[in-house]
């Protein structure tokens, strides 16, 4: 009998500091940078985002989301035997944010804990890895997290990028099950596009070499994202033997409402079937999909038994999709 990985609990956390577009515009004006609520909403659909306090790390945000997910799953932290954190803003160069999170959760059972770095596709990648490990019997109950403090790597002199991103964390608990859970997944990357979305800096000899702030060619990202997301979605549906008509909910990476609308159109889905949080969260990179999933579950939109398609695209260039029964 096939062994599935099934989501049994979701959780999320946003840092308390919420900035509306007007709040951010006022702060940028002090730097001589001009923007407005109208300009941001028209181009992105974003109205607000959350920024973490200077002393708050990705693992701190992840901890709160994980506690929610573990409680929702009705299990104990000690029942977790695999931890995967998707992040592009780790607490340290090493050890992994997952290992730090393991300690903060008080999990002392020696389970594997590691990070996945696929930027905004990170949660889809991490979920696929956890699914594979559960299917093979390497794990029984996994904690999969997306956590980011992107506010730390933004160039606040570049209004085309600094208005887009926010901080937050989302998590799910996966459990081995005979009942259908994750049905199919599709992952891809193309390193030839590394330059269109990157943070081209690194640490060497105690110094930061290169530029440690985010760079993005927005038009190039938009053009590439729309095409690859559609292909990944269709390939995932094909693997599961399903069609667009079988999708109850689409939960895409929350980067830009226009990308999300275009993806929905290509899949012949009404926006009523798309969970949208980009307006209130901004782009939280690897955290955006699990944040949106938890919002959908807790708002009563996403219900048990429904078929959900997740899809993400990010720097690398990476992209992928996961289809599952809730």
Write out the residue limits of the CATH 3.40.47.10 domain(s) in the chain. Answer: 4-179, 183-325
Placement of tokens 């012949």 in the chain: 268
How far apart are alpha carbons 243 and 247 in whole angstroms? 7
How far apart are alpha carbons 234 and 321 in whole angstroms? 9
Q: 180 pLDDT exceeds 90? A: yes
Q: 2 pLDDT exceeds 90? A: no
pLDDT in tens, 230-267: 999 999 999 999 999 999 999 999 999 999 999 999 99
How far apart are alpha carbons 141 and 35 in whole angstroms? 46
Omega of the bond leading into 317 within 30 degrees of 0 (cis): yes
pLDDT in tens, 44-58: 999 999 999 999 999
| Whether CATH 3.40.47.10 fits 4-179 | yes
Omega of the bond leading into 228 within 30 degrees of 0 (cis): no
Q: Name 257's Cβ contacts closer than 8 Å, sequence gap at least 6.
A: 44, 45, 46, 276, 278, 279
Element (H, E) at 294: helix 288-298
pLDDT score at 1? 80
- Cβ atoms < 10 Å from Cβ of 231: 14
How far apart are alpha carbons 201 and 175 in whole angstroms? 38
pLDDT score at 285? 98
Residues 101-121 as b or e (16 or more Cβ within 10 Å = b): bbebbebeeebebebbbbbbb
Residues known to be catalytic: 120, 253, 283
pLDDT score at 141? 98
Confidence of residue 28 (pLDDT cuts 50, 70, 90): very high
How far apart are alpha carbons 22 and 24 in whole angstroms? 5
Q: Say whether 18 sits in a helix, a strand or coil.
A: strand
pLDDT in tens, 80-137: 999 999 999 999 999 999 999 999 999 999 999 999 999 999 999 999 999 999 999 9
How far apart are alpha carbons 240 and 4 in whole angstroms? 13
pLDDT in tens, 267-325: 999 999 999 999 999 999 999 999 999 999 999 999 999 999 999 999 999 999 999 99
CATH number of the structural domain 183-325: 3.40.47.10
Write down the H helix ranges in 33-180: 37-44, 58-73, 97-104, 122-136, 159-162
Quickly list DSSP for 214-270: -EE-HHHHHHHHHHHHHHHHHHHHHHHT--GGG-SEEEE--S-HHHHHHHHHHTT--
For residue 310, give the nearest of 147, 73, 127 by alpha carbon: 127
Q: Are 254 and 288 spatial neighbours (Cβ–Cβ below 8 Å)?
A: yes
- Cβ atoms < 10 Å from Cβ of 239: 14
Phi, psi of 239 (to 5 degrees): -60, -35
The neighbouring-strand residues paired with 250 are: 274, 309
pLDDT score at 261? 97
How far apart are alpha carbons 226 and 230 in whole angstroms? 6
Question: Contacts for 155-160 with beta carbons within 8 Å, 24 or more apart?
Answer: 155/213, 155/214, 155/215, 156/27, 156/28, 156/31, 156/33, 157/31, 157/33, 159/28, 159/33, 159/34, 159/35, 160/216, 160/218
């Amino acid at each position: 009998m096939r062994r599935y990985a099934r989501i049994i609990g979701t959780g999320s956390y946003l840092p308390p500091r919420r900035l509306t577009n007007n709040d951010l515009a006022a702060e940028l004006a002090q730097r001589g940078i001009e923007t407005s609520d109208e300009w941001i909403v028209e181009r992105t659909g974003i109205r607000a985002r959350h920024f973490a306090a200077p002393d708050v790390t990705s693992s701190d945000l992840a901890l709160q989301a994980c506690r929610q997910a573990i409680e929702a799953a009705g299990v104990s932290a000690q029942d977790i035997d695999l931890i995967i954190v998707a992040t592009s803003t780790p607490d340290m160069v090493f050890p992994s944010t997952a290992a730090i999170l393991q300690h903060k959760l008080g999990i002392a059972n020696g389970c594997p804990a590691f990070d996945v770095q696929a930027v905004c596709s990170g949660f889809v990648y991490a979920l696929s890895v956890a699914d594979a490990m559960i299917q093979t019997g390497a794990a029984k109950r996994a904690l999969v997290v997306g956590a980011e403090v992107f506010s730390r790597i933004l160039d606040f002199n570049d209004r085309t990028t600094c208005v887009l991103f926010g901080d937050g964390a989302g998590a799910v608990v996966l459990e081995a099950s005979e009942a259908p859970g994750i049905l199919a997944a599709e992952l891809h990357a193309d390193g030839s596009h590394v330059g269109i979305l990157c943070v081209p800096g690194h640490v060497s000899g105690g110094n930061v070499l290169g530029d440690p702030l985010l760079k993005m060619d927005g038009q190039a990202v938009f053009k590439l994202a729309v095409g690859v997301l559609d292909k990944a979605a269709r390939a995932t549906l094909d693997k599961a033997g399903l069609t667009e008509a079988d999708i109850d909910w689409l939960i895409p990476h929350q980067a830009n409402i226009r990308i999300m609308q275009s993806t929905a159109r290509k899949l012949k889905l009404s926006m009523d079937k798309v969970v949208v949080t980009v307006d209130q969260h901004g782009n939280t990179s690897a955290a955006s999909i699990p944040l949106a999933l938890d919002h959908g579950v807790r708002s009563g939109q996403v219900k048990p038994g429904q078929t959900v398609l997740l899809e993400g695209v990010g720097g690398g260039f990476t992209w992928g999709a996961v289809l599952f029964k809730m």
